[in-house]
Copies of this chain bind each other. A is one copy, B any other.
Amino acid sequence: MDYSLNNIKKIIVSKPLKLDCGQTIKDFPIAYETYGKLNAEKNNAILVFHALTGDQFVTGTNPITKKDGWWCSAVGPGKAIDTEKYFVVCANVLGGCMGSFGPKNIDKETNQPYALNFPVITIKDMVKAQETLLDHLGIKKLLSVLGGSMGGMQLLQFCALYPEKTFSAVPIASTSSHNAQQIALNELARQAIMADPIWNNGNYYKENQIPKNGLAVARMAAHITYMSDKGLQERFGRKLQEKKDYEFTFDADFQIESYLRHQGNVFVERFDANSYLYISRALDYFDLSKQFNNGLTEAFQNHKTKFLVVSFSSDWLYPTKNSKDIVIALNSSGANVAFAEIKTDKGHDAFLVDEPEFLKTIKGFLDSNFELFKNEK
């Protein structure tokens, strides 16, 4: 893993942040990236929240991994989220490993990485940490916030905490609360990481080792949930990996096996195992209704934010039902809400790939809201 994160943009949050767990942190870094330019009226800013294993490098080339940004399909010049028109901001989440304050950071008191001494954080903590960026960038009110998966959860939390800070919002393939299956899948990933002896109760930094095996298994498990049954079958089916027939070994006979192993192997090069534990924990703790007397409707009462809720028909990790529950709560609270279920075989990952109907939908929503926002008195 490349730990040289020296040249990336960062702010140091000096204001103390009281975390949900009770601890208070201050003077911690939040790393971020921006694309496009903030206009003179400062009304073209869009905040993007990233998913579990995402980072601030939304588009272009990620300077750390040298690979494409994770949302190149949607963000860039002339794209659905047009960086020639909009100023796009994304921050690495608290607990992450791309420059924001996370478990691999050095604890000044011990001069060692925090590892499991890092406080357990929540989606709310992440959102509060990111909100500090708006002041720094001189943004009073965002044109929009967008986020898929965990990004959508941060978005909902942001809207609940700061209803005046965004004109519109697009939660994508997300949920307002992790259910038992979603918790189970995260627990599986955590147990896979913790099963690796190199993980060593979180203390693997000193030897410059990585619990690669466990982290790769965690990634493979997650990756299966990102794709639909039908999508996997169309892409891989029972195709063999450069061989004419079964070889009767435990090598990768099938292309899907080889693909999964590859996904595991490349992931461990870019992601910190402890960050995976912390961020997945934040996902499981997320339950927006719990913050509002067990009523999700309460979270959005009297808000003026214009919502577009998006789900994907073949997403079984955060199925349409999760999005519909958000729509129902928004409707009950009297909010302005549109809903689109995009028909696709691409599963949960559909928000990350070139899915024309999806991209057209968010482009239309952003462009029309930009006109409304410009004319707002």
- Residues of A bordering B, CB below 8 Å: 20-22, 116, 119-120, 177-181, 183-185, 187-188, 190-192, 194-197, 213-214, 216-217, 220-221, 224, 227, 229, 232-233, 235-238, 246, 248-250, 252-254, 256-257, 260-261, 264, 277, 281, 284-285, 287, 316, 319
- Quick one: which of A185, A191, A213 has the most chain B CB within 10 A? A191
In whole Å, how far is A316's beta carbon from the nearest beta carbon of chain B? 7
Give me 12 other A-B pairs in contact (C-beta within 8 A), A183-B257, A187-B261, A191-B260 excluded.
Answer: A20-B248, A21-B248, A179-B232, A180-B236, A181-B233, A183-B238, A183-B254, A192-B195, A192-B217, A195-B195, A195-B196, A238-B287
Complex alpha-carbon distance, A179 and B287, angstroms: 35
In whole Å, how far is A282's beta carbon from the nearest beta carbon of chain B? 10
16 residue pairs A–B, Cβ–Cβ below 8 Å: A21-B248, A22-B248, A177-B238, A178-B238, A179-B233, A181-B227, A183-B238, A184-B232, A184-B256, A187-B257, A187-B260, A191-B260, A192-B192, A195-B216, A197-B197, A229-B319
Complex alpha-carbon distance, A238 and B254, angstroms: 37
Complex alpha-carbon distance, A79 and B329, angstroms: 47
Which of B120, B264, B319 contacts A191, CB < 8 Å?
B264
In whole Å, how far is A288's beta carbon from the nearest beta carbon of chain B? 12
Output the nearest chain B residue to A227 by Cβ-Cβ distance: B181
Complex alpha-carbon distance, A254 and B235, angstroms: 36
Residues in B whose Cβ lies below 8 Å from that of A319: 229
Secondary structure dominating the interface of A: helix
Cβ contact within 8 Å between A181 and B229? yes
Which of B195, B249, B257 contacts A217, CB < 8 Å?
B195
In whole Å, how far is A267's beta carbon from the nearest beta carbon of chain B? 13
In whole Å, how far is A23's beta carbon from the nearest beta carbon of chain B? 9
Answer whether A195 and B180 are a contact pair too, CB < 8 Å, given A250-B281, A254-B284, A281-B250.
no
Cβ contact within 8 Å between B238 and A216? no
Answer whether A184 and B224 are a contact pair too, CB < 8 Å, given A197-B197, A216-B191, A254-B284.
yes
Give the copy number: 2
In whole Å, how far is A140's beta carbon from the nearest beta carbon of chain B? 33
Complex alpha-carbon distance, A177 and B237, angstroms: 10
In whole Å, how far is A196's beta carbon from the nearest beta carbon of chain B? 7
Which of B188, B238, B277, B316 contacts A220, CB < 8 Å?
B188
In whole Å, how far is A155's beta carbon from the nearest beta carbon of chain B? 21
Cβ contact within 8 Å between B287 and A180? no
Residues in B whose Cβ lies below 8 Å from that of A257: 183-184, 187
Cβ contact within 8 Å between A120 and B183? no
Complex alpha-carbon distance, A139 and B343, angstroms: 53
Residues in B whose Cβ lies below 8 Å from that of A285: 246
Residues in B whose Cβ lies below 8 Å from that of A185: 224
Which of B21, B22, B184, B238 contacts A260, CB < 8 Å?
B184
